[in-house]
Structure 1
């Protein structure tokens, strides 16, 4: 048994935050560009739903290689429902305390469940900013989630191991007094 804290409370907060962003997206915003260079808002929503589905399968010990990186075919008005269904499944699977202490195969790494869930907490925090930035809803973001992400991300994504072709690009310089989400976005290689 581990003494690491339970990551689920922060994971839930990150899902609450991104869920609010997903619900707020209007159909006329789906083609807006996001700071993720490969995604407009629609594709980013499809990626978020995909990550939730994959994380539920990984937590259940099931291969998720058939789940595409971006879910398509969701009606313009159906993103909130798709997110909610995927979230419900993730929370059902990860409610089992045993999943936290089991090794979980994420395809990009095999990690203890606690570590995996913590990593995805930060992914959803970052994607919340991406959606907020693309739709003009920045003021609604939880600064504590960004602060936690900035504390932990150097272990997951050290700046010296990045390139323009990776998940995180090189760190983008921002003023020292930039707000916490601007610093987080810049750390992950986004151009705030």
Structure 2
């Protein structure tokens, strides 16, 4: 992955994306933790665990240049998810505060890239995608940042084309999005979610 993702500083977009997720996480009532999400393998609680693990993994990558993927955390109280996510995103921001890290190569299971590319195609795309999953599961309680979704959709279409699906890629076949769907719904459909 090269191009504009490697040439620009993605940290402002990452900050917006994780702040949006943080607002959604804070809006989750305890009684909704067992509800399903559009991401078939996750209920709301499991998605929150995945999100908390994701910001901490991204922080570890910034701190060390490589990552040992964490398992979703256990033992978080029903009312503790917002705090756990906020702690992870603060660690993430601190880990990537040094400008030099944007050019440093980092290694993840899908390749080795400059840090800026990882933040764009990893942290921002993942956060935006799961923001829609969580928002959808909760009945869309907050407005979502459409600009983030438009950018993420462009990256997804470039780096995850429709013919790159199957066991080695954790996304289902591209699904149709309804006519007039917003950028989040189009992104979700591109990544294999069923969009009603």
CA contact (8 A) 1:61 1:105 kept: no
Q: 1:49 aligns with which of 38, 49, 52?
A: 52
Residue 166 of structure 1, CA deviation: 3.2
CA contact (8 A) 1:185 1:191 kept: yes
Q: 1:142 aligns with which of 117, 141, 145?
A: 145
Unaligned runs of 5+ in 2: none
Q: How does 1:9-24 map to 2 (within 5 A)?
A: 9-24=12-27
CA contact (8 A) 2:34 2:45 kept: yes
CA contact (8 A) 2:157 2:190 kept: no
2:98 is aligned with 1:96: yes
Q: Secondary structure at the match of 2:64?
A: coil
**Normalised by the size of structure 2, how large is the TM-score?**
0.91
Q: Secondary structure at the match of 1:161?
A: coil
Q: Deviations for 1:67-120, whole angstroms, at most 9, x for unmatched residues?
A: 21x222211000000001111100001111111000011233211100000011
Q: How does 1:52-67 map to 2 (within 5 A)?
A: 52-61=55-64, 63-65=66-68, 67=70
CA contact (8 A) 2:65 2:106 kept: no
Structure 1 CA distance, aligned partners of 2:61 and 2:83?
22
In structure 1, the residue matched to 2:84 is 82
In structure 2, the residue matched to 1:190 is 193
Q: 1:27 aligns with which of 26, 30, 47?
A: 30
The aligned length equals 190
Residue 61 of structure 1, CA deviation: 1.6
CA contact (8 A) 1:164 1:170 kept: no
RMSD: 1.7
Unaligned runs of 5+ in 1: none
Q: Secondary structure at the match of 2:135?
A: helix
2:29 is aligned with 1:5: no
Q: 1:175 aligns with which of 163, 173, 178?
A: 178
**Normalised by the size of structure 1, how large is the TM-score?**
0.93
Structure 2 CA distance, aligned partners of 1:156 and 1:125?
15
Residue 180 of structure 1, CA deviation: 1.6
